[in-house]
Every structure is written in structure tokens, then in C-alpha cells.
Structure 1
């Protein structure tokens, strides 16, 4: 996410967790910079998104997009992927880490979609999490990005941003998710996942955070901010 001029407001801060007014200000600034955030995974249907998210575990979105650019023209429905077969799928996604296990999960997922859901991606968390290869984070991404629900999928980027900034501190991914759902204002909740993951991916990086150009630096509680060069 590129930094850009933003509205400056003076907010008195205190150590620790962000106050509600600071949380609102944080999201107002991220929304001003990127009014319509979305996933960087390439997809055109809920099913393609589901496959891409399964493939993205411990892999980059760029790497997944390269693989699905080859895969989806050949097979982008449960029926076509089953016809391609596990070995055929492996050949298409072999550049992605853990591709053997992921191919097995995707094929099993396709079979279950056809057997239980008429080939359609279900729109409930319970049904999504019952699919092979689909956990809570994947279900949250699909519910949010494909179906517009106000879920927040916490990955390593969001976990880091939530703890560093004081937005929603927590010791576990689920604790951070619950904290975010509690503090994010309703009008920002649907897009919060995308704003935070992009902020963590491009600004609040793990090793060399770009604090000097961070649009929420003055709100952030992290004591080890990077100095100006």
C-alpha cells in the first residue's frame, strides 16, 4: 500500500492499546489511502478464490497467481479439476510449496463440493470449514472476499500489525481475530482484513518496517520504530 498525504489530526496518546477514537482514526486514514481494497490473489469466481486461498498457505500471492494463471484456463470448476486428477494438478502447481498435500486437499475438496453442495461453494462457516484443506482463516477469506461478510482473516501480517500498533493485541491468532472484531468500527469491518494485510505486507514489514512513511506512525504504540534514514 503506497503512502500518500493524509489528514493530520492531533490525538493525545497513552501507552498500550489504542483507544476507540484512535482505532477509528487509524482506519479512516487507511481507507482514505485505499478506498476499495481487495485481495491480491487472482480469481473470477468464488470457487477460484477458494482454490487460490488453499494454495496460498505458506506461499506468496505472486507465486500462487503464476500457478493459477496456468491452472484455471485448464480447470476452474470442481468437475474439471477432478477430471484433471491429482497428478495433473500437481504438475500445474509444482512451483508452489507443499504442492503434494495441497493437490490432495483440492481434489478432495472438489469431490466433497460435488457430493454435498452441488458443486457450489457454501456460504456458511460450518460448511466451509468441513471442506478438506479449509480452516478458519481460509473460510474467513472466502466469506469476506467472495460473499461480502464482515469477517477478518488473521494471517502473520495482520497478527504483527495488530500487536505492534496496539490495535488488537493478542497472544494467538484467534485472540487477535476476536479482539479485532470487538474494536473495529462497523463501517470499516468488511474491508479491515485487506487494509491490515496490505499494511503489514508493504509498510509494517517483519524485518525492516518502513515507519518513516507509515500513515499511522503517530498512532502506533510500537516502541522500536524505524528512524528516518
Structure 2
């Protein structure tokens, strides 16, 4: 396993990320907390691009929990059947929407515990919603962050919870709000799984990855 980078090196890495992209944004399209929650839940084992394509028309007619219930499970399936695991996801979205209507007055709760209690919502989904909608400096560790964190030495850990903790412990406080977006985007477009673009990477001199692709 790669060694965890020191504080000053991590500070320099995120200073560069911030200079290149001061306000990084998530790529899932949404209009409110509910559509963000649904989009993130649908994105499990799917691409953001694929989810955005499926939800473009869906969110025009079902942008609240009650409207989603009115659409119904079969109606929802018609919109999301291009997404992996769509039947199970449709069931969860309908169950989630019912709970939001019955227990939360149709509003999305702003606590991690409440979010995680909803069907189809795990820690990662809850953290994304808390970060993107309520600007809580949470860290949603996906495959891109897990790969980048361990390759680079920015956040080393054997599982997603360990990497999340490493991010919180090692990245300076002023970068915590946007940290997961910088890492997701870097992992998605530069520090790719099969052929990382090390030769054009803005932190290649600081990264601990031994198998750098410098072609």
C-alpha cells in the first residue's frame, strides 16, 4: 500500500486543485434536494451521464415525492429502464418518496442518520446530498476517490470508510467542502483506472503512484 502523504504535500495538492477549479460541481443534474437525492440514488453502478439522460424528462413531471408517487413504479420504470438495476431502484425511489411524504412532510431531511434510513440511500448517497445541497463538508467516497486516494497517497485506506476518515483527518479544513468533487473529477478524467493521464496531471510531481504513465 502507498504511504500516506504528509500534511504540507496534501495542502499543495489541493491548492493546485483549487487554483485550477475554484468551484467544482457535481455532474448529476437536479433542481432541488429531492431530485438530487433521487439522481444520486439512481447513480449507483451507473454513469452520471446515463442518469442525466434518464432523468431529463422524469424530473419535468416528478420533481417532488408526491409527484413521484402519482407517477407510480411502472411509470418511473419507463423513464429509468436504461439504467442498471432499474427495477430495484424504482422500488426504492417509490418507497423513499412515500416515507418522505408520510414522515417528513414531503421534504428531504438534512441529517445523515435520517437520510441513511431511507430505502436505497447509503452513506455515500447521504454524504453527496449533504455536501451538494446543504454544503456540509462531507466526503462521499466512490470508486474514483478510492482509487485516487490510494494511488496518490492523499487518502490511504483499505475500504471506503477508512478512505473517508483519511480525507477528514489529512486534508486541510479549508479544502474539505470541495475535496470530494476535486477528487471525483480528477479520478474520472485524469487518474483513470486503466490508463491514467499522468503526463498531463497537475500533481504528478507530488503523487506517490509508482507506475506513472508518462507517455
Class of the TM-score when normalised by the shorter of the 2 chains: over 0.9
The one of 119, 137, 158 aligned to 1:132: 119
Give how far 1:115 is off.
1.1
How much has 1:70 moved relative to structure 2?
1.4
Equivalent positions of 1:7-156 (< 5 A) are 16-156=3-143
Matches of 1:146 and 1:173 in 2, distance apart?
22
What per-residue deviation string (whole Å, max 9, x for no partner) do you get for residues 166-207 of structure 1?
111110000000111001111000000100000000000000
Q: SS at the partner of 2:60?
A: coil
Q: CA RMSD in A?
A: 0.8
From 166, 184, 188, give the equivalent of 2:153: 166
Name stretches of at least 5 consecutive residues in structure 1 with no aligned partner.
Answer: 1-14
Distance 2:61 2:79 in 1: 9
Deviation at 1:16, TM superposition (A): 2.3
Counterpart CA distance in 2 for 1:103 and 1:194 is 27
Q: TM-score, normalised by structure 1?
A: 0.92
* Runs of 4+, deviation exceeding 6 Å: none
Q: How far, CA to CA, are the matches of 2:5 and 2:166 in structure 1? A: 12
Higher helix share: 2
Stretches of structure 2 lacking an aligned partner (at least 5 in a row): none
Equivalent residues of 2:151, 2:209 under 8 A apart: yes
- TM-score using structure 2 length: 0.98
